[in-house]
Amino acid sequence: MGGDAGVAVTVAAVGDIMRDHPCIEVQLFVSEGVLGGYLNMPALRSVADRLSSVICGPQVENDDKPSVAVRSKIQSSMARAIAAVASGDADACVSAGNTGALMGFGIKLLKTIPGVSRPAICGSIPTLKGTALVLDLGANVDCSAVQLHQFAHLGSRSAQCINGVENPRVKLLNVGSEVNKGPQFIQDAAQLLSRDKGLNYCGYIEADQLFVGDADVVVCDGMSGNVALKASEGAAALIGDVYRAEIQRNWLSRLSAALAARSDAGISERVNPAKYNGACLLGLRGVVIKSHGSATRDAFYQALNIARHAKSQSLPLDL
């Protein structure tokens, strides 16, 4: 029920991924009377035997306070989907809804793993050398040094399990690379990370170096991570808009673009934000994936695929 476009996007993406992966079974958690004609979409006819729906209570709205939602909307689609993971009726939950409520229900129904006080949102970003994991991307606006240390372990384990990196390079997002830069909690976290022999800690990283590829895991508080992510997505959108405007400027620009079409397509595919949609709530005793609320059909498909991949690769559920 979450996301800006709601059921129209999520159901269509479900049909796409179920056709591509015949082993997948999906439960749709919905408010009464919402699905209607969507279940008769051509995209779902061939997978109807692997699809079921669960009718739920009032949904969590985007402006609901997480604490209120967790207390009063335990029958919502979001809560029921996470409860299915907790009971073993589902292997993973994917939602494009209210992030704070998703984390709140996750903590209440799934609990955190030993050694982790708060879950973190962990997502992938493209770099010049492949991809990097970044956490936290918005679940925890305020973080302590101890929590950043926990995030570093969660990210490092995930990079090993999901991305196959043998000894992940972990860096801490900061306003400078010098050891005395940044707020006290960042400096305290750096001390904890540098003393931990179980981590390959490689120091600070500044925001302009995120996409270079010198880190496999970037650790940050939720405020900094979310701002960095949204700013980079905005910059990518700006570059795309400017490029398209320049192409249409005159016939020579259009000709040049046509000659470079194949290269342009490869670049667009590599940096397309939809390709990286879907972030894991690490630190919970189950797989929960957060999709962007503005996700398109292709982007939500990717979030579903992240859930499939996280489960198949045994996403770390312990430290």
The string of pLDDT tens digits covering residues 203-224 is 999 999 999 999 999 999 999 9
Asked if residue 279 belongs to a domain, the reply is no
Q: How many domains does the chain have?
A: 2
Compute how many other C-beta atoms are within 10 angstroms of the C-beta atom of residue 87. 10
- pLDDT tens for 27-86 read 999 988 777 677 777 778 888 889 998 999 999 998 899 899 999 999 999 999 999 999
The answer to whether residues 140 and 254 belong to one domain is: yes
CB of 248 closer than 8 Å to CB of 195: no
Lowest mean pLDDT among 131-135, 222-226, 313-317: 313-317
The answer to whether residues 140 and 263 belong to one domain is: yes
The answer to whether residues 216 and 249 belong to one domain is: yes
Q: Three-state SS for 131? A: strand
Q: 223: domain CATH number?
A: 3.40.718.10
Asked whether the bond before 214 is cis by omega within 30 degrees of 0, the reply is no
Q: Three-state SS for 123? A: strand
CB of 284 closer than 8 Å to CB of 113: yes
Asked if residue 201 belongs to a domain, the reply is yes
For residues 239-246, average pLDDT: 74
Asked if residue 117 belongs to a domain, the reply is no
The answer to whether residues 186 and 62 belong to one domain is: no
Asked if residue 41 belongs to a domain, the reply is yes
The answer to whether residues 177 and 82 belong to one domain is: no
The parent domain of residue 290 ranges over: 1-111+284-319
This prediction's pTM? 0.86
Mean pLDDT estimate for the chain: 87
Give the per-residue pLDDT at 74.
95
